[in-house]
């Protein structure tokens, strides 16, 4: 029996003008009127983040994510705006200039120049509790081969600045511009990881340890491992799916014997291919080195973590979620379908706007 590990999720959202449907620099104003400490400004003033409190199970996490979205969507409406759950804005550009008036973000923009442009993109970050930093590194090493599967499930940003990028997750490509990003190397220990981060900061490759933007990393603030490869999800259910699968991967890592991982170059290529292809496209299986579909990657992931999902009671929820996605398509496919049916990217923005009816699927499985 695998014990349930604690869960936390951070979601980033875009703020767009309710009339033009383009990014609106109202994030700081919206956060300023909220008393809860769970809401934060982000790099772009057209962004907001909600950090859900630590939860023990999916039902608790669902309540927190629903609460965060409801509060932020209501505050956005008071500012003449919509809260958008999409990795990138379908209309307009999200990112600097200007940059949120926080010293750290101002410094990043000054140091990296044009590299910081359009970085107002939105992800879903899952935290899973672990005993200590060395266990976080063990989990990180184990998760690496499964990153492409999590990416195809979380791809929700096909449109950017009025055009179809031909990628399922354009956010992944924008985010990958930072100097320390993407698939992490295998680390021997937490000390090995800390030594690398210190060298990167000392050499001024990055301005601070928070700029280690690997897809999976030990948290700097809590005894968790953080997986940050998915775009923010249109629905709470899809965010819960990322959380359930990530926790199952960490649980499996803590009770498994470490295995050999694919080469870094192959994993990077598999993630890049997954970002372009999405669930229904042709991907690369990093383990075998052979072409496969996005759904092949997901099926292998679920098979790998089935015992962990069963032991904490998440298996039924995950299977229902995946059944719904097989029928209705992933986030990127649904966005494209709205454009095909309506012929207008404004309709895609409305599809992505957070409302009570969009937080869960029409026939939402109850965790």
pLDDT digits (tens, 9 = 90+) for 260-283: 889 999 999 999 999 999 999 999
Across the range 312-329, mean pLDDT stands at: 97
What's residue 357's pLDDT?
A: 53
Bridge partners of residue 48, in order along the sequence: 13, 41
SS (H, E, C) 239-254: HHHHHHHHHHHHHHHH
Across the range 60-89, mean pLDDT stands at: 96
pLDDT digits (tens, 9 = 90+) for 115-167: 888 888 999 999 999 999 999 999 999 999 999 999 999 999 999 999 999 99
pLDDT greater than 90 at residue 302: yes
| Cα dihedral across residues 259, 260, 262, 263: positive or negative | positive
What's residue 49's pLDDT?
A: 96
Cβ 46 vs Cβ 83: under 8 Å: no
Each as own residue / partner, the long-range contacts of residues 66-70 (CB below 8 Å, 24 or more positions apart, any chain) are 66/236, 66/359, 68/11, 68/38, 68/39, 69/11, 69/13, 69/236, 69/354, 69/359, 70/356, 70/359
Q: Which CATH code for domain 7-352?
A: 3.30.590.20
**Strand, helix or coil for residue 206:** coil
Across the range 168-190, mean pLDDT stands at: 96
* Average pLDDT of every residue of the chain: 93
What are the sequence ranges of the domains in the chain? 7-352
- C-alpha span between 153 and 85 (Å, rounded): 15
Across the range 27-47, mean pLDDT stands at: 89
pLDDT greater than 50 at residue 363: no
What's residue 359's pLDDT?
A: 55
What's residue 109's pLDDT?
A: 87
pLDDT digits (tens, 9 = 90+) for 322-343: 999 999 999 999 999 999 999 9
């Amino acid at each position: 029996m695998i014990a349930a590990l604690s869960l936390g999720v951070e979601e980033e959202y875009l703020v767009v003008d309710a009339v033009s449907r383009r990014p609106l620099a109202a994030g700081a104003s919206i956060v300023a009127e909220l008393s809860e400490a769970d809401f934060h400004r982000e790099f772009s003033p057209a962004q907001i983040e909600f950090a859900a409190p630590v939860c023990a199970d999916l039902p608790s996490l669902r309540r927190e994510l629903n609460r965060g979205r409801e509060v932020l969507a209501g505050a956005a409406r008071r500012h003449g705006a919509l809260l958008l759950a999409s990795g990138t804005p379908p209309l307009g550009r999200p990112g600097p200039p200007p940059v949120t008036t926080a010293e750290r973000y101002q410094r990043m923009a000054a140091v990296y120049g044009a590299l910081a442009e359009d970085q107002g993109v939105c992800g879903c970050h899952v935290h899973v509790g672990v005993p200590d930093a060395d266990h976080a590194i063990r989990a990180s090493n184990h998760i690496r081969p499964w990153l492409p599967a999590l990416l195809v499930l979380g791809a929700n940003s096909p449109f950017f600045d009025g055009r179809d990028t031909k990628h399922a997750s354009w956010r992944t490509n924008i985010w990958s511009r930072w100097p320390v990003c993407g698939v992490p190397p295998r680390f021997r220990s937490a000390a090995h990881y800390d030594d690398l981060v210190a060298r990167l900061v000392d050499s001024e490759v990055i301005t601070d340890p928070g700029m280690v933007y690997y897809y999976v990393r030990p948290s700097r603030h809590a005894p968790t491992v953080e997986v940050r490869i998915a775009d923010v999800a249109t629905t709470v259910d899809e965010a819960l799916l990322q959380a359930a699968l990530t926790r199952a991967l960490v649980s499996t890592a803590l009770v498994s014997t470490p295995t050999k991982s694919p080469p870094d170059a192959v994993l990077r290529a598999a993630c890049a291919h997954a970002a372009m292809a999405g669930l229904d496209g042709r991907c690369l299986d990093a383990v075998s080195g052979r072409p496969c579909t996005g759904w092949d990657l997901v099926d292998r992931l679920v098979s790998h973590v089935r015992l962990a999902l069963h032991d904490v009671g998440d298996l039924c929820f995950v299977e229902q979620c995946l059944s719904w996605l097989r029928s209705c398509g992933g986030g990127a496919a649904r966005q494209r379908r709205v454009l095909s049916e309506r012929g207008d990217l404004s309709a895609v923005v409305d599809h992505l706007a957070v409302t009570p009816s969009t937080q869960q699927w029409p026939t939402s499985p109850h965790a």
